[in-house]
Amino acid sequence: MLSGQSFSKTLILMTSLLLAAAAWAEQSEKELGQLFQSKPITIVVGSSPGGGYDTFARLVARHIGKFLPGNPSFIVNNVPGGGQLRGLRRAMKSKPDGLTIGLLHPRFVQRELAGVDVPDFDLKTVRVIGSPSAVSVQRLWCARRSIASSWDQIKKSGRALTNGSAGRGASFGIGPEFVESLGGPVKMVYGYGGTSEIMAAFDRGELESVDRCTSENVPRLFPGWIKNKTVAPIFWWEQKPSKDWLRQLGATDVPYLLDIVDATSEQRKAFEVAVQFNIFNRIFVAPPGIPNDVYNAWTKAFEAMVKDPQFLKGAETAGLDVGLGTAADFNKTLKAFQELSPEGVKILVGLIGPSS
């Protein structure tokens, strides 16, 4: 037990340490404020104005300043080219002082994981700030109803249904690609231009299955599929479709992909990691070498901004889905990748990259 004198000395020491810590924090906050006020902060966007990446960048520029010391001003600099690579390289080669950040497209994460070098970018050194749109979405694979209306019917038929995709690693295609990799009844056909082209190919009978039969796409592009019950939902992944949407497609319930395929635990783990990497998109990043106190100010401000009612209202007005993906979330997924066995890595690389 401490004596009265010892207790007093300990209390004085603790008080002094707390005061010193508070003074240091205040000084650090002041210095950060001076840094962020020294000139406008630049957000480098690797695409042209008007797209989803650009819209999110401008939304962040409008709202994040109030959560950073000094309430700085912002400039959005569009540097399109190379599938957003020019913009990423510009951001990664900028001075690591916290006054320039960029946007990272998941395709470059995929390429790095697949062992393809991305110029001026390294997953080991990039400083991830966060994603404002880490949102799981509806993923549903459907067959042409005239061919089959259930997984069991497809398996009994002994045939693999063709499914269109822009290229390996596309977010929509992960489900059927995984089934194909296990020797299941899917045959992927690559080279299509995108969602509209893929759905059109299915509509004219060129493809036998489609992984775009969601409530986001079908009513907007091919509402006749609903009226004529053209598609039969077979399995889902990432986010389960609503009962109402399944009912519109003429189904009552649809199984989860991993509940119907014959996959090992390592194969399942690789698939789940691949899904997580696809959910994490529009990633805001700082260049390597940014001081920890500046980086921490960014991550703290980013997390506060994504929860801000004004930011959420602006995103809703722009038609953007918001979901916070933190730097810790990204690093956790990266760690899960690193813990995969060689078999798991091979499977994951086949699912997510390298993409074009």
The least confident of 5-9, 74-78, 336-340 is 5-9
CA distance 75 to 80: 16
The secondary element (H helix, E strand) that includes residue 257 is helix 257-260
Alpha helix segments (H runs only) across 158-230: 174-181, 195-203, 218-221, 224-227
Report the distance separating Cα 329 and Cα 75, nearest Å.
Answer: 27
d(CA 227, CA 93): 53
pLDDT of residue 14: 53
What does the pLDDT average to over 299-315?
96
Residue 355 reports pLDDT greater than 60: no
Residue 259 and residue 22: Cα distance in Å, rounded? 54
The mean pLDDT value for 278-307 works out to: 95
pLDDT band for position 44 (cuts 50, 70, 90): very high
| DSSP conformation letters of 67-118 | GSTT---EEEEE---GGGHHHHHHHHTS-SSSSEEEEE-HHHHHHHHTTPPP
Residue 349, pLDDT > 90, answer no
pLDDT of residue 23: 38
| Total Cβ atoms within 10 A of residue 266 | 15
Q: Looking at the predicted structure, is the pLDDT value of residue 20 above 50? A: no
| Phi, psi angle pair for 91, to nearest 5° | -65, -40
Above 80 in pLDDT, residue 95?
A: yes
Q: Given the structure tokens 């069991």, which residue do they identify? A: 152
pLDDT tens-digit map of 21-38: 443 344 477 889 899 988
Dihedral angle, C-alpha 111, 269, 263, 116, nearest 10 ° = 10
356 vs 72, residue with greater confidence? 72
Q: Residues 38-62: what's their mean pLDDT?
A: 92
Answer yes or no: same fold for 24-134+280-323 and 138-275: yes
Phi, psi of 42 (to 5 degrees): -105, 130
Q: Which fold has domain 138-275?
A: D-Maltodextrin-Binding Protein; domain 2 (3.40.190)
Identify the residue with better confidence: 195 or 89.
89
Residue 256, CA distances (Å) to 139, 238, 259, 267 in order: 10, 9, 5, 15
Q: In what order do the strands lie in the sheet with 186-190?
A: 186-190, 161-165, 209-210, 138-144, 231-238
Domain edges within the chain: 24-134+280-323, 138-275
Q: How confident is the model at residue 353 (pLDDT cuts 50, 70, 90)?
A: low
The number of angstroms, rounded, from the C-alpha of 140 to the middle of its chain's C-alpha atoms is 18
Rounded Cα–Cα distance for residues 71 and 32 (Å): 10
Q: Which residues pair with 235 in a beta bridge?
A: 141
Which CATH superfamily includes the segment(s) 24-134+280-323? Bordetella uptake gene, domain 1 (3.40.190.150)
